[in-house]
Amino acid sequence: MNTFLGYMRPNGQAGARNYVLLMPINRSLNFVAASVKKMTNNTRHFEIPAETGRTEVDREVIVRTMIGLMNNANVGGIVLLATKPATASAYKNMGADRFEAEAKKTGKPFRIVYLTESGGSYGVLGETLKMTREVLLEVSNFRRTPCPLSSLTLGVKCGTSDATSGIAGNPCVGAAFDRVVEAGGTAFFSETTEIIGAEDLVAARARTPEVAKAILDAAQHWEDKAKSTGEDIREINPIPANIAAGISTLEEKSLGAIAKSGHAPIEGVLKYAERPSGHGLYFVDSWMSSLSLPLCFTACGAAIVIYQMGGGAMPQYPMMPAINPTVVSPFLYVTGNAQAYSRSPDNFDFDSSGIMTRAESIEKEGDRLLAHLLEVASGSMTKMETLDYAEQLELYMEGPVL
């Protein structure tokens, strides 16, 4: 389990997929990107949110996310859409020239299409379709090759947490993470509100005192932010579904949540959508949203994103959790809850409940999960990939809209 069949990229990271990414850098061109995506195979598109009225810090979050998606190893080629080459009418950090320069840095095939140079709306639609097909043909020449585990990047979010999350599901993911990180790969975990009460344990694994301080500062920031609104974060979290599933305190939830990170040293603390400077395990300072974190991990570089669910409060006939908010990365649901898996077998890709029901070792189940992840990295579809549906993206931005 040390290799998989992936698409090796110029930056040394290997992709599990080989998409062409349609990237509008002006909101008015979202329609064009979405339309061309529907007319072409093997393409994905990012829907840029409104940047007007945002603080400069939040605009940089949007930009980091977009640049991160272009750099993701699952992207084989890029088509940028802009209204015009001149940047005078754009915010200083969101000009077309910046995105074009970043696309060139990736070393991937790319084109840029301008509305003002394509004869208007109908012209830009046709030109984008033409350019996209050209890039698709270039990208189709790439082939899967044996790639080392060190070239794989993973991200994990947990949700609907219950007792099985901390006993089986999250530790199983943590064991798989340990294997990837030990081999020289990269992994991300997050949810700052869900390390509160266990932040000292997380900080103790920091590679340096500076990283430890950054972890503790992140947790304190969220506590202070909650207090500034007059709220006690421990009365907001655990959420009602966690309480219904048997979790009583935020500290109890956090102790289970951090298990998904494994045992490796933490190399650094990243901002939302920030790419790491090296390999290893990283903590991403962000909120717990199911619709923003998977996208964040993808922008950070995750070739595969895992959603580890508890599901103790899952009803007998659950809705299909068909969110796939990564844009370009395979997204899979795993659980350590045997009941949740039996109630929703069409949605879960992996069941680690044997840790509790058959006394399987965490390490054995972690190896089994890693083997499954390598199959996905080699081309096997996740269950969510069989559906052409994604929830509206939610980038995590803290500032007010002015």
pLDDT in tens, 44-79: 999 999 888 889 999 999 999 999 999 999 999 999
Say yes or no to pLDDT of 392 above 90.
no
DSSP codes joined into one string, 120-159: SHHHHHHHHHHHHHHHHHHHTT---EEEEGGG-EEEEEEE
Say yes or no to pLDDT of 238 above 80.
no
Alpha helix positions (H), 158-248: 163-164, 170-182, 199-203, 209-228, 233-236, 240-244
Q: State residue 322's pLDDT score.
A: 60
C-alpha 109/C-alpha 10 separation (Å) is: 11
How many residues would you count in the chain? 402
Q: State residue 239's pLDDT score.
A: 66
Q: CA distances (Å), 390 to each of 139, 187, 314, 382, in order?
A: 24, 23, 21, 14
Phi, psi for residue 152 in degrees, rounded to 5: -95, 140
Measure the CA angle with vertex 298, ends 397 and 93; round to 5°. Answer: 50
Of the candidate ranges 190-204, 229-243, 280-294, the one whose mean pLDDT is the lowest: 229-243
- Burial of residue 227, with CB atoms counted within 10 A of its CB: 0-12 exposed, 13-18 middle, 19 or more buried: exposed
Q: State residue 288's pLDDT score.
A: 77
Residue 57: which residues within 8 A CB-CB, separation 6 or more? Answer: 398, 399
Q: Pick the more confident residue, 4 or 242.
A: 4
pLDDT mean over 99-117? 96
Residue 359 Ramachandran class (φ > 0 left, ψ -120 to 50 alpha, else beta) = left
Work out the pLDDT band at 328, boundaries 50, 70, 90: very high
Over its C-alpha atoms, the chain yields an Rg (Å, rounded) of: 21
Q: What percent of the chain has pLDDT over 70?
A: 93
Say yes or no to pLDDT of 373 above 80.
yes
Coil, strand or helix at 319: coil
pLDDT mean over 286-299? 87
pLDDT mean over 192-217? 96
Task: Answer yes or no: are the C-beta atoms of 99 and 132 closer than 8 Å.
Answer: no
pLDDT mean over 265-285? 97
Q: State residue 295's pLDDT score.
A: 93
- Bridge partners, residue 125, by sequence: none
Q: State residue 98's pLDDT score.
A: 94
Work out the pLDDT band at 255, boundaries 50, 70, 90: confident
For the record, the structure tokens of 39 come out as 């007319």
Entry pTM = 0.94
pLDDT mean over 145-158? 97
Q: Pick the more confident residue, 285 or 239.
A: 285
Q: State residue 285's pLDDT score.
A: 96
Work out the pLDDT band at 248, boundaries 50, 70, 90: low
Work out the pLDDT band at 253, boundaries 50, 70, 90: confident
Work out the pLDDT band at 249, boundaries 50, 70, 90: confident
Q: Is the dihedral of CA 376, 377, 381, 383 positive or negative?
A: positive
Q: State residue 50's pLDDT score.
A: 86
Strand arrangement, sheet containing 145-148: 14-15, 3-8, 145-148
Alpha helix positions (H), 18-141: 30-39, 56-71, 96-105, 121-139
Strand residues in 264-343 grouped as ranges (E):
266-270, 280-284, 304-309, 331-335
C-alpha 354/C-alpha 154 separation (Å) is: 23
pLDDT mean over 290-302? 91
pLDDT mean over 262-282? 97
Most confident option among 99-103, 190-194, 317-321: 99-103
Of the candidate ranges 215-224, 287-296, 365-374, 390-399, the one whose mean pLDDT is the lowest: 390-399
Average pLDDT, the chain: 91
CATH number at 19-139: 3.40.50.261
Among 316, 384, 318, 326, CA closest to 350: 384
Residue 146 Ramachandran class (φ > 0 left, ψ -120 to 50 alpha, else beta) = beta
